[in-house]
Chain A
């Protein structure tokens, strides 16, 4: 019999690992990682470049004498730096990511495959349009789907994020008012529960912002809206479903009142995933709405972006849509790049070139792979999952609006924590120890100690149950004698709880100098 004669123990040795630390600071295969600037290597470069053929400079004594201060890392060093950082992060690819209002859902890999097709991925924004007809055709089809799903006649594809879309919508509204001699309208109304970007966008455009009160059941107070609408109001900005996860039942009346007062209705489309395929915003009287492709249409975001926030526009606002305009004619697709001719009333442009092409491809792949029926089910499942979480958690936690179902997110307040000394923040940090990204906390502002949970439609029941069980176990710990579990959390994250107050009051923007070569001077003092 041939026999392996070098034996080795195959059973783990029992050991007390409670206070075990490695000799060099690593945590197993999770490496401690400094800032890239602390890695240094100022005197080297990761790539070899041929010396320039003509090295005579016209810069004279303006030529930099000091090193530029970029770390000189090789490709593997650079790669390892970012992979190590990514290991300390949470991602939708690791577990449920219930960050309310953000729609952190799965990004289908089919989208990625489509976006990597050379005909899309290798485009240059300045190449002749005759050589990019396929890409323009895709943008045209995407525009068709967005217009059909929203029941709106026009869409501006270029805005690069939700807030950028809001800016686009308000600029179109402003242009329309100016054109109609209504430039004196200086006020934009937003509900108290609005996303912070709504009043911020209005202020950025130069409007005064006034708040619309909310009713006890979390909706817009119609009487207050009616009282505040007037000849100086340019627009209202309303999210539906709103940030409390509730459908604005009076939305048609809200639109009617708004239009009767001569104002436009801007809808924040951040929560469109709750109603896509079931409600057309155009039918509700919406004049402009951004659509976060990185939410409803599954393109990556949260560091994996970039985002994309196309804006659909009503008949009244369509003439003011920003250039470029995508048009089709006998020669195929073309782009109108200047506010002239057909696009004479365009208010300008939102960005250089044509927008986030990679996101257009992903969103279109998502639409086509789901189909109209699939998109309808997206909304149904998003709402079903949120209500499942709400139903399970309300056995231990207090829903902010207990009456009736929620839409795509479940909102709790912190009244169930009263007397425990445990806060919403503690609960969020403890959730990290349990392996989940925290829910959105302290937003919307109208709910005390708010916990806004958006599971999204891509979570299977097993993962929803795993999350609910973690939440229920933490709720039990908070109400019982295990509060340190929450108040000291996170215990198991790469970093323990940071002093946010100190960081905000006395930010330190310096780093330890690199270990090799000549380090640059630190950026700024404290």
Chain B
């Protein structure tokens, strides 16, 4: 699993990557009440808006950690946005991307690096 400074995680499963927000992000957001997942087929570049997550505190954009095409969105979040709080780094995933450039993954942090980064916040 790789991480961004904006608290997205990404995990490669074959040539498809699963993307979500980290446990730290889920805790900071507070209770998530709405998730807008991307449409399948949407092309995104690294840093583009991928999804919107709305909590009782605020609405926040979720950025694509890498470039690619959305091949699946987690439709279950529409009825159960609380999954983002309950299992942010598992069942609370947002979308799956077919990677345009797998080398982009190397730019991201691994877990020890991300945890070290969290200590600086």
Binding site for B on A (CB under 8 A): 442, 445, 500-501, 504-505
Contacts and interface: CB of A to CB of B under 8 A. Distances in A.
Nearest to A442: B57
Central interface residue in B33, B34, B58, B81, by most chain A CB within 10 Å = B33
Chief secondary structure at chain A's binding surface: helix
A442 B57 CA distance: 7
A445 B31 CA distance: 17
B58 A501 contact: no
- What band does the interface of chain B fall in when counting residues whose beta carbon is under 8 Å from A? under 10
B58 A504 contact: no
B85 to A, nearest CB: 9
Central interface residue in B54, B56, B82, by most chain A CB within 10 Å = B56
B58 A500 contact: no
A169 B105 CA distance: 42
Contacts of A501: 31, 33, 56, 82
Interface string B13-54: 000000000000000000101100000000000000000001
A505 B57 CA distance: 13
Nearest to B34: A504
B33 A504 contact: yes
Contacts of B56: 500-501, 504
Nearest to A424: B57
A442 B58 contact: yes
A500 B34 CA distance: 13
A504 B33 CA distance: 6
A216 to B, nearest CB: 14
A445 B58 CA distance: 9
A358 to B, nearest CB: 34
Contacts of B58: 442, 445
Q: Ordered nearest first, which 9 A-B pairs have the shortest CB separation?
A: A504-B33, A501-B31, A500-B56, A505-B33, A442-B57, A501-B56, A501-B33, A504-B56, A445-B58
Contacts of A445: 58
B15 to A, nearest CB: 31
B24 to A, nearest CB: 13
B57 to A, nearest CB: 5
Contacts of B31: 500-501, 504
A448 B54 CA distance: 17
A500 B33 CA distance: 9
Contacts of A504: 31, 33-34, 54, 56
Interface in B55-90: 56-58, 81-82
Central interface residue in B31, B54, B81, by most chain A CB within 10 Å = B31
A500 B56 CA distance: 7
Contacts of A442: 57-58
Given A500-B56, A501-B56, 5 more contacts: A442-B57, A445-B58, A504-B34, A505-B33, A505-B82
A501 B30 CA distance: 9
Nearest to A443: B58
Nearest to B31: A501
A500 B81 CA distance: 14
Contacts of A500: 31, 56
Nearest to B33: A504
Central interface residue in A442, A445, A504, by most chain B CB within 10 Å = A504
Contacts of B33: 501, 504-505
13 contacts: A442-B57, A442-B58, A500-B31, A501-B31, A501-B33, A501-B56, A501-B82, A504-B33, A504-B34, A504-B56, A505-B34, A505-B81, A505-B82
Interface string B96-117: 0000000000000000000000
A372 B6 CA distance: 48
A504 to B, nearest CB: 4
A446 to B, nearest CB: 12
Nearest to B60: A445
B111 to A, nearest CB: 24
Contacts of B54: 504
Contacts of A505: 33-34, 81-82
A501 B56 CA distance: 6
B21 to A, nearest CB: 16
A500 B32 CA distance: 11
Nearest to B85: A501
A505 B84 CA distance: 13
A442 B56 CA distance: 11
Nearest to B28: A448
Contacts of B57: 442
A505 B81 CA distance: 8
A500 B54 CA distance: 13
A442 B54 CA distance: 14
A418 to B, nearest CB: 13
B64 to A, nearest CB: 16
Nearest to B82: A505
A504 B35 CA distance: 12
A497 to B, nearest CB: 12
A119 to B, nearest CB: 46
B52 to A, nearest CB: 12
A130 B12 CA distance: 74
A501 B57 CA distance: 10
A74 B101 CA distance: 70
